[in-house]
Amino acid sequence: MSSAAASSPVPGGFGLRRALVRNRGALIAAAVLAILLFVVDWISAGPLTYFDVSFLSSGGATSALAAIGQTIVILSGGFDLSAGAVISLVNAVLASSMDPMAPGASILLWTTVGIGVGMAVGAFNGFFIAVLRMQPIVVTLSTMFILQGVTLLVMDKPGGFVSPDLGAFYLGDAIAGWLPMPLVVIGVVLLAWFWLKGTRFGTALYALGSDPESAASVGINVVLVRFAVYVIAGGCYGLAGVFISAQTGSGDPLVGNPLLLSMFAAVVVGGTRLGGGQGGPVGSVFGAYILMIVVNILLVLNVSAYYATIAEGTILVLAALAGSISHASVLAVQLRAARARLAAWRAGILPSQLERVDRRLKIAEPAHAQRSPASPRPAFHLRNAETLRYALPAYVCLLLIVLVTQIWLGRAILNPGYWNSLLVLSSFLAVLALGQGTVILTGGLDLSVPWTIGISGIILAGMVNGSDAALVYALPVVLVMACAIGFANGFGIVYLGISPIVMTLATNGILQGCALLYSQGTPAGFSSPMLRWVMTAKLAGLLTPIVLLMVVFVVAAVLLLGRTPFGRRVYGIGNGLRAARLSGIGVERTLILVYMLSAVCAAVVGVMLTGFSGQASLGMGDDYLLPSIAVVVVGGALITGGRGHYLGMLGGVLLLTALQMLLAGTTLPYATRAILYGLVVLGAVMALRERRLQ
Amino acid sequence: MGIGSKVRRLALLAGMAACAFGLSAAQAAEKHKIFLSMSYIGNDWQAEAANMVKAMAAHKSLADKVDLQVQVAGPNAQRQIQQINAMVQSGAEAIVVYPISPTALNQVVKNACDKGVKVFAYDAEITEPCAYNVHIDQLEAGRVTAEWLVKKLNGKGNIIAITGVPGTSVDDQRTKAAKEVFAKYPDIKIVGEAVGMWSQAVARTELSKILATRNWDDINGLWMQVGCFTANSMQLEAGKKTSELLPCAGEGSNGGRIQMLPEGTEVEGAAPPYAPAGAQRISYASPPYSGALALKLAVEAIEGKDVPKTTILPLPVVTNETIKLCDEGTWAEMKAGCNAFKPSLVSNPGWFASIFSDQTPEVGLNAALVGQPEN
């Protein structure tokens, strides 16, 4: 931090200020953490002692170490979903290979093993992302599935043994009574980061995250930097895995998986921008501790269990808001803009108040006259070359999977039941793909999908309670509620300037709490006969009504994104927010509509699932979050926005569903299935590689 | 060891906390401070178990002895570790915990034990020797249900297995024990196997996938950890008659229990598929009263009674021979042998019906539904 000030040629005051501005995210996160610590100290019975601090520091260390790795990936413009799985794998490897008969163990050796495993996984990710130029999100998602399988092969149930030596070292004191070891470990990693940041590699990392093409054209070896980023990050996850092993003293193949989402929240709360180029791991460490200390606050305040997720969501939003208080924050900008608009309206000079006269310069001929018969419309495959290039691979792979199903299990291609099941099971993700896909096209991400599905299903089932007549008013109520959820998401993102990941993650938690409060833990009611008929009946013995509705839905979705002003605005925003704003797109309004669309799609899925299962259950949407993102990317969309076609996403949906049906038909063990699933997804997107930069 | 002095110190601490919240110190001072650390509350079982624990704490026999605070850790073992630490720090006398991982909590539990805190795990197990465990024998659950299915099929047939959450001890033990039984009968073939995540909704999706390339006619029986209710509904949708439903060894949800009643039984509030169908079933579950029992035992342990480290609960098994509908669902009624509840009282078919225990007369149907203890 001081290096920025020291190297500055201008007077000290200015350099200090610049350092402050540069590290604003981290500084604010530190301030928030300090305030929260003070709050905990103030409301809990006794004063914070060294033991409290020691416990707190070890409690957040795993997330903090993993968040450092994730931050480096995000700084480079990437995204790593395999982080949680690496932690589980390292934990399983350590716990299954240490010998309980020889309780002494070399700390250095096992730490190296853990970091080595993480780096190996990082190299795997890095190879596909850097060398083969594939999208990070889908590569790391595949890696996550593969690793979950591998972890279960290493250790199929909790158990194993981690030497107490490791625990004594990592959880002990560096200076007894003054400095707990976890803080030292984090400090060492951060020091290594500062060294790295000062090297050419560090500069290249930030350059890559800010603008990969400029970075390449000034001679940075993009492939090498990207590769190194994932290897370094893998090492951090590995160290986090070693730490959690030391902390728990044994192994559990599922221990790391739930850390994933909160890791992103920690990074964003710490002031790092998703998409790269701005921020740093120091803030993420504070972010991880902010999220962790919430546990203590809830405990001292004795927040009832049902309100816990609501309180967490609120704290997350407040922390993110606190991080954005400044003159340049979105909220401040929006307020200034509103004031300017009000002033303009008073003065009568708002565009909408002016007389509408065509003031265009008459330079070019009107457009329609230009299309002379001499230049015929290019052929279909030329006009849609880019869409085809990115959408076709999913369909080709789908064909292959269906062929394999036919050969391996029989009864596929000529069996109408197979196709009907494929379409019915695809329908949920097909609807979600429109919502999530549109959000991704604008460069955002909607993590509130799971509990929007859950609460919609629960409220619908409760209101309908088996009566078709009640469906007439229950369905609109649920859809209006979804609009409100989407509006809240959009409002927070657009007007309060909260990052989509944090905002929708917080909404998800708040919705979970609302669903629990509404249902008191046991959702009542069940689907009406008509809804069940739509989802499960067989017309003429082979066709489920929902399949017909899906055809209508797909046509409507394609038209919405391809042929309406709304669709064009979505692509415009995704390709360049600033350009879109300057060309007169109402960015705010469009973004809010996009999040409303996503929430409505999720609510529709909640209704469909209720009809399909006959009842609603808590957590029924949990299995749909990652697939909803995966299908969009497998279908050829760019996770950073601006590119993708709904038909491609639909191909992704069909491909993943067909693959799951194939695997379900076999009797392979779950671990093998997970590995195969990951490998096939990885293979399927191999064809989506980015073209080489120059 | 001066238990008295510790209680006084804790009482002092509790009193200070109580003052901060405007309670009378005298009232809080007599109570034992007990924490409940739950896992993920986003499913029926967890919510039901939590309701029963709360009802137990509110029962007149415990209400003036126990100050219960409930905290949720979510699915994240790291958080539970930290939560337990914070509970110990804030002066817990006992911690009742649904352990997210049987091993990951060992160190923090040991640390709590060292400070004199009693740690009770319910449903799942904590392997640290100083912890008290209250759960069923999962191996027995897998074995008994598999043996029932083999007997129903006369040792011959194709079956589908729907398992739980992969990587958990409970799933591992149940599935292994069941497969050991099936392996003894070479004519029993597992033709399809899927991960059901202990959810009716997932069971439905997975069964649909399996049946896309298979037919109900190729299958003779089902072994599921959760999903028999759904499987029966799917067979009825596919046009099977109730008399043709496949034998299914599976969960103790109320929907499944109602389906076990002979077809034509008058049941208030029943509507297909949540209606009597004479389904051939063995119904078992990890009973949700285990948390309430753990709390009761925790109070006994604090009061100095001798509590065994491991309490193995009797496996609640209901078959077509023992199924009986409850009228109101009071504890006394369940003691007389009823084990299924009317849909008019329990509108959620996925709700777990194994709530009866000899040892917990404090909690009945209302406890599980809304957290209200018996009189």
The interface pTM score, or ipTM, of the predicted complex is 0.87
pLDDT at A365: 61
Q: What is the mean pLDDT of residues B7-22?
A: 44
DSSP letters spanning A476-505: HHHHHHHHHHHHHHHHHHHTS---HHHHHH
Contact A158 B42 (CB under 8 A): no
Is the per-residue pLDDT at B249 higher than 90?
A: yes
Q: How far is A89 from chain B (nearest CA, A)?
A: 12
Instruction: Check CB contact under 8 Å for B72 and A167.
Output: no
Assess whether pLDDT exceeds 90 at residue A584. Answer: no
A529 to chain B: closest CA residue: B272
Per-residue pLDDT for B20 more than 60?
no
One domain for residues A617 and A493 = yes
Res A119 pLDDT > 90: yes
Q: Is A245 exposed, middle or buried (0-12, 13-18, 19+ CB in 10 A)?
A: buried
Q: Do A521 and A619 have their domain in common?
A: yes
For residue B141, name the pLDDT band (cuts at 50, 70, 90): very high
- Is residue B24 scored above 60 in pLDDT? no
Please work out, in degrees rounded to the nearest 5, the angle formed at the alpha carbon of residue B37 by the alpha carbons of B31 and B41: 125
Of all residues in chain A, what percent carry a pLDDT higher than 90? Answer: 50
Contact status, residue A157 vs residue B167, Cβ threshold 8 Å: yes
**Residue in chain B nearest A246 by alpha carbon:** B107
Q: How far apart are the first and last CA of chain B?
A: 37
Query: What pLDDT sits at residue A334?
Result: 84
CB A91 within 8 A of CB A254: no
Ordered by start, the domain boundaries in chain B are 3-137+288-313
Contact A299 B71 (CB under 8 A): yes
Residues in chain A: 694
What was the pLDDT predicted at A56? 86
The answer for A 119-178 residues in CB contact with B (under 8 A) is: 151-152, 156-160, 167, 171
Adjacent-strand bridge partners of B71: B37
Domain boundary among A302, A320, A337: A302
Model pLDDT for residues A241-299, shown as the tens digit of each residue: 999 999 988 899 999 988 888 888 888 888 887 777 788 999 999 999 988 888 788 87
**Within a domain: A582:** yes
Residue A546's alpha-carbon distances to A452, A531, A543, A553, A612, in angstroms, are 21, 10, 9, 10, 10
**Mean pLDDT, chain B, integer:** 88
pLDDT confidence bin for B23, thresholds 50/70/90: very low
Tokens of B23: 């309670």
Q: Kindly state whether residues A292 and A403 are assigned to the same domain.
A: no
pLDDT of residue B77: 87
Q: What is the mean pLDDT of residues A528-552?
A: 91
Residue-level pLDDT at A153? 95
pLDDT value, residue B11: 45
Does residue A173 share a domain with residue A59?
Answer: yes
Instruction: Specify the amino acid at residue A555.
Output: V
Is residue A308 assigned to a domain? no
Mean pLDDT on A561-574:
94
Percent of chain B with pLDDT over 70: 92
The answer to whether residue A690 scores a pLDDT higher than 80 is no
Decide if pLDDT at A3 tops 60: no
Q: What is the pLDDT confidence band of residue A542, given thresholds at 50, 70 and 90?
A: confident
| pLDDT on residue A379 | 82
DSSP state of A127: I
Q: What is the pLDDT of residue A324?
A: 67
Q: Given a cut of 70, is residue A377 above it in pLDDT? A: yes
Give the model confidence (pLDDT) of A316-372 as tens digits: 888 778 766 666 677 888 888 889 888 988 888 877 777 777 777 776 665 555 555
pLDDT tens digits for range A300-312? 888 877 787 888 8
DSSP per position, A507-537: HHHHHHHHHHHHHTTS---B--HHHHHHHH-
Q: Are residues A148 and A19 part of one domain?
A: yes
Q: Is the peptide bond before B273 cis (omega within 30 degrees of 0)?
A: yes
Give the residue on A whose Cα is nearest the Cα of B235. Answer: A536
Terminal-residue alpha carbon distance, chain A: 35
Residue A356 lies inside a defined structural domain of this protein? no
Mean local confidence (pLDDT), B43-65: 89
Residue A337 lies in a domain: no
Full domain range(s) for residue A535: 388-686
In which residue are the tokens 């409760």 written?
A462
CB pair distance less than 8 Å for A43 and B20: yes
| Of residues B172, B194, B204, nearest to A157 (C-beta) | B172
User: Would you call A614 and B214 a contact, using CB atoms and an 8 Å cutoff?
Assistant: no
Top mean pLDDT of A156-170, A677-691, B5-19, B306-320 is at B306-320
Interface touch A248/B103, C-beta < 8 Å: yes
Read off the CATH number of the domain in which A547 is found: 1.10.3470
Q: Where are the alpha helices (H) located in A323-448, listed in sequence order?
A: 330-347, 367-370, 380-383, 385-409, 416-441
Residue A372 has a pLDDT of: 56
Of A648, A623, A655, A654, residue with least CA distance to A633 = A648
pLDDT digits 0-9 by tens, B161-207 = 999 989 889 999 999 999 999 999 999 999 999 999 888 888 999 99
Is the pLDDT score of B129 beyond 70? yes
* Average pLDDT over every residue of A622-647: 89
Confirm or reject contact between A416 and chain B (CB < 8 A). Answer: no
- Give the number of A-B residue pairs with CB atoms closer than 8 Å: 242
Q: Residue B15: is its pLDDT beyond 70? A: no
What integer best gives the mean pLDDT of chain A?
A: 87
* Structural domains counted in chain A: 2
Is domain B3-137+288-313 in CATH 3.40.50.2300, yes or no?
Answer: yes
Position A564 pLDDT exceeds 90? yes
* Residue pLDDT, tens place only, A154-205: 999 898 888 888 888 998 888 888 899 999 999 999 999 999 999 999 999 9
Same domain, yes or no, for A394 and A290? no
- Identify the pLDDT of residue B21: 45
The stretch A20-37 carries a mean pLDDT of 84
Least confident interval from A531-540, B7-16, B329-338, B364-373: B7-16
Euclidean distance between CA atoms A200 and A500, whole angstroms = 32
B163 and A CB contact within 8 Å: yes
B38 reaches A (C-beta below 8 A): yes
| A289 and A407 co-located in one domain | no
**Residue B315 phi, psi (nearest 5):** -70, 115
pLDDT at B18 over 90: no
On whether both A287 and A435 belong to a single domain, the answer is no
Residue B167 to residue A254, Cβ atoms within 8 A: yes
Name every chain A residue with its beta carbon within 8 A of the beta carbon of B78.
Answer: 59, 62-63, 244, 255, 258-259
Q: What is the pLDDT of residue B7?
A: 44
Residues from chain A contacting residue B44 (CB–CB below 8 Å): 521-523, 617-618
Contact A603, A452 (CB under 8 A): yes
> Which of B:288-327 have CB within 8 Å of A?
none
What is the pLDDT at residue A4? 40
pLDDT confidence of residue B10:
44
pTM of this structure: 0.89
Q: What pLDDT is attached to residue A302?
A: 80
Q: Do A274 and A421 belong together in one domain?
A: no
Chain A environment of B209 (Cβ under 8 Å): 421, 425, 660-661, 664-665
pLDDT over 60 (residue A12): no
pLDDT category at A17 given cuts 50, 70, 90 is confident
* Interface probe, candidates B40, B48, B85, chain A, greatest A C-beta count within 10 A: B85
**CB contact A672 to B (< 8 Å):** no
Residue B281 banded pLDDT, cuts 50, 70, 90: very high
